[in-house]
Amino acid sequence: MVRKMEVKRYSENPNKYWSDIERFRKQTFIEGNNSLSHEKYDPDNPDIETWMCYKYVEEWEQYTKPSGKVKERLNKYNKLISISAAEKSHYTNDPDIAVRVCRYHILDGYRFSHCGLIMGEHQIKWAREKGYKILYITHDINNITINK
């Protein structure tokens, strides 16, 4: 059980994480960000590695008993709050030397969680292990949704 925040890599278990990413993707669209559209992002692309930041949350939710009575229960789970990916750099024409990191989205309500910095530590270590000499980060400063 994650008690604070934990970073996972998609490639560790794609079957486990794929549905989390799809739910997350839909939420980003609701929040007005299209950075995770299927045309722009595929977690199964072998040239992309995805990091996911999960936060342990406890939320009260309503449910209806078979008798029709509405009750509340405490739902405890690990919520995917952010995705960041690294891809071989096609902008710099040196994909075996440079890797580009993109912060695709942090869910509204979690933007001050510093999860990008937490994922960054994992991404730097991964890039070194993979033999990349350059790691750089791009961010769309015109994307109002992810910059508010």
Q: Kindly report, residue by residue over 56-110, the tens digit of the pLDDT.
A: 888 899 999 999 999 999 988 899 999 999 998 877 888 788 999 986 788 988 8
Rounded CA gap, 35 and 25, in Å? 9
Q: Is the pLDDT of residue 126 over 90?
A: yes
Q: Is the dihedral of CA 9, 22, 86, 147 positive or negative?
A: negative
Rounded CA gap, 11 and 84, in Å? 13
Q: What is the CA radius of gyration of the chain?
A: 17
Rounded CA gap, 124 and 90, in Å? 19
pLDDT mean over 10-32: 94
Q: Is the pLDDT of residue 124 over 90?
A: yes
C-alpha to C-alpha distances, 136 to 5, 91, 130, 139, nearest whole angstrom: 24, 11, 15, 10
Q: Is the pLDDT of residue 112 over 70?
A: yes
pTM (2 d.p.): 0.82
Beta bridge partners of 17: none
Q: Is the pLDDT of residue 2 over 60?
A: no
